[in-house]
Amino acid sequence: EADIYQTPRYLVIGTGKKITLECSQTMGHDKMYWYQQDPGMELHLIHYSYGVNSTEKGDLSSESTVSRIRTEHFPLTLESARPSHTSQYLCASSEHRGRAETQYFGPGTRLLVL
């Protein structure tokens, strides 16, 4: 069982509000990821990090930003939420051992922007 947590689990918010989705893991993993998952099921990588002070944009363009100040924490921020940001956001982490490693996912945050 992976120890990776996301809060809030559900969020309903109005257009223009700033929001931060929290993700934390207690496994000491160096790598962390954010995915966006639409109702059509497909998972799209929007941000990733290889360690503290490392952040990269993923394959799907996103207006969100991320930070990695501590190993265990990888928050995602939307400065001004819009209805097009409505989606499920999944956080994941993995070890960095020089080869492709298993990614462990959190339970997700389901965001609805009105």
Binding footprint of another protein on the chain (CB under 8 A): 2, 6, 31, 40-43, 45, 48, 56, 58-59, 90, 92, 98-108
Closest separation in Å from C-beta 91 to another protein? 8
**Tokens encoding 87:** 């989606």
First to last CA, the chain: 35
Closest separation in Å from C-beta 18 to another protein? 25
**Tokens encoding 28:** 């000491």
Closest separation in Å from C-beta 16 to another protein? 28
Nearer CB in complex with another protein: 14/98: 98
Please name the residues in contact with 51: beta carbons below 8 A apart, sequence gap of 6 or more. Answer: 30, 31, 68, 71, 96
Nearer CB in complex with another protein: 47/85: 47
| Cα dihedral 68/70/76/77 (nearest 10) | -90
Closest separation in Å from C-beta 105 to another protein? 3
Nearer CB in complex with another protein: 17/71: 71
Nearer CB in complex with another protein: 31/85: 31
Residue 37 vs residues 5, 15, 69, 90, 107: alpha-carbon distances, Å: 17, 20, 25, 7, 12
